[in-house]
Chains A and B, each alone.
Chain A
C-alpha cells in the first residue's frame, strides 16, 4: 500500500501545479506580514477605536499570535480552493490521460488504488497546512515577537495569556486539518465522477463557495440546513480562542468556552470525509474504464 502512496506522491510533486498553492500561500502571508510590520499601528488603532475610548491598552497588541490569527481568518477560507486544485484531479486526471486502465491492470485492487490516491492527496493537504502554520505562526512569532493574545470579536474582547496560546494553535491546526481533509475528500468525490480535470476542480470550488455563502448568511430559512453543511463547521477552529468565565467574571486559564461545539464539528467533518471517500471508492469500483 505504501508503495502505491509513494508513487502517487511522486506524481503529485512532479507536477508544477502542486507548487502554485505553496507559492500563493507564501506570497499572501509575506504581503500581509509586510503590511502589518510597516503600518500595523494604524490598523491596530482602527480596530481598537471603541476600546481606546474607554480603556488604555498597554502592551504589544500586534504580536505574532495576533498576526497568525488574522492570517488564519483570511487564509483558511481560501486554502480549500487551493486544495481543490490537486484533490479534484487525482482520479479524473488519470481518466483524462487514459492511464486509468494501466493502473487497474496492476496486481492491486481498485479500492487500494483509490485509497492510495486519497492518502497521497491528504498528505499534500497536510503539508500545505504545515507550510501555512510555519509561515503564519512561527515566522510571525519571529518577526513580531510574542505577548498576550488580544482578540477583538464582534461583541466582546478576549485576552489570552501568552503561555496559554500555543496549545490553542496546535488544536486549531489539527481542527483545520479536518476541515481541509473534508475539502480533499469532496474534490476526490467530484474527481471520481468525471473524466477530465477542469470539471471536478471548478465543481469543488463552486460547492465550497456556494455552501460557504449559505453558512454565513443569517437568514432563518437557511438556519435549518446550516448544521448539516460542512462549511458551517470548517470555521469553528476559532472556538479554541474563546475562554470560559467563572461566577466572578474572571476568565479561566486553559479553558475553552464551547468544547462540545468543537467535538460536534469534528464529528460532522469526519463523517463527511468517510462518506465522500466511501462514495468515491464505490463509484470507482463500478466505473467503466474501457471507454
Chain B
C-alpha cells in the first residue's frame, strides 16, 4: 500500500514539475511571434523625462539581435538611459528560455482584458528576480512588463503597437523607473551665489523617471554587424 501511495505521489509531483518546465501556452504563442525576428534596427525619437534632467527630443537607433543583444544609440549625441533597464525587453526576457511561468489571472488595462503572467528565472545568474507580463491573449502581444532586477531596481515597460504588430514589435515603448535624488556640491559645479535652484526645479514637472521611444521604422532580419554591440 505504501509503495502504491509513494508511486502515485511521485507521478503527481513529476507531472506538476513537467507542466512548470514547459511554460505557459500563451507565453509560447508570444515567443513564436517574437521568433520571427532574428534581428532588427529600429529608428525612433527618444524623450527623456527625469525630474533632474533637461533634455530635448533626440533621434535614436535601436539595435537588437537574438537572443538578447540590445543597443540604443542616439544619432550624434549623448544618450541617457536607465541603468540596465533598457536591455530587459520582452525579447531578452523570453529568449533566455530559463524561467518558470505562473498564471496570475486577468486585468483590464486601457480597456483591454489582458492575461497576467509572472516569470521567475530558473538561472541564478540572470540579472532579473521576477517579471510580470500583461499579455493580450487574442493578439499574443505583450502590452506591459514589470521587472525587478538584482542591482538596478524595478522597471516598468509599457508598449503600444502599430504597423509591426505581426512581429510583436512595438511602435512606442515607455520605460518607467525610480530615480534617486541628484545633488552636486557647489564646490564642484562652481555655482556659488546661485540662489534660485529651487525655483528652477519647479519648472521640471515629473518626479518619476521615464524614457519614451516612439519608433518610426523597423528594418527586420537584415543582419547587424557584431561591432554595434
Binding site for B on A (CB under 8 A): 47, 50-61, 73-74, 147-148, 150, 152-159, 161-162, 215-218, 223, 226, 232, 235, 238, 242-245, 247-253, 257
Contact = CB atoms under 8 A, between A and B. Distances in A.
Contacts of B225: none
A60 B79 CA distance: 10
A195 to B, nearest CB: 36
B54 A245 contact: yes
B182 A51 contact: yes
Nearest to B188: A47
B23 interface: no
Contact of B184 (A55, A60, A154): A154
Nearest to A164: B56
A232 B28 CA distance: 66
B77 A59 contact: yes
A242 B191 CA distance: 13
A147 B77 contact: yes
Contacts of A157: 52-54, 182
Nearest to B201: A155
Contact of A61 (B52, B78, B179, B184): B78
Interface in B130-186: 177, 179-180, 182-186
Given A55-B82, A154-B185, A250-B57, A245 B191 contact: no
Contacts of B209: 54
B54 A53 contact: no
Interface centre among B80, B177, B186 (most CB of A within 10 A): B80
A149 to B, nearest CB: 9
Contact of A251 (B55, B86, B179, B206): B55
12 contacts: A50-B183, A58-B81, A153-B191, A155-B52, A156-B197, A157-B182, A159-B54, A159-B56, A161-B56, A245-B205, A248-B205, A249-B204
Interface in B72-110: 72-74, 76-84, 86
B76 A156 contact: no
A152 B52 CA distance: 10
A54 B189 contact: no
Contacts of B185: 154
For chain A, what secondary structure do more than half of its interface residues adopt (helix, strand, loop), or is it mixed?
Answer: mixed
Interface residues of B, number: 50
B3 interface: no
B58 interface: yes
Interface in B184-206: 184-186, 188-195, 197-198, 200-201, 203-206
B186 A154 contact: yes
Nearest to A217: B193
Interface in B16-67: 47-58
B180 A153 contact: no
A243 B56 contact: yes
Contacts of B77: 59, 147-148, 161-162
Nearest to B211: A55
A60 B195 CA distance: 31
Nearest to B71: A58
Interface hub of A57, A244, A253 (most chain B Cβ within 10 A): A57
A250 B180 CA distance: 20
B47 A55 contact: no
B178 to A, nearest CB: 8
A50 B189 CA distance: 13
Nearest to B153: A54
Contact of B197 (A152, A154, A244, A252): A154
Given A59-B79, A152-B184, A250 B190 contact: no
Given A58-B73, A60-B78, A61-B78, 6 more contacts: A56-B81, A58-B78, A58-B81, A59-B77, A153-B184, A216-B192
A55 B49 contact: no
A168 to B, nearest CB: 14
A54 B82 contact: yes
Contact of A53 (B47, B76, B180): B180
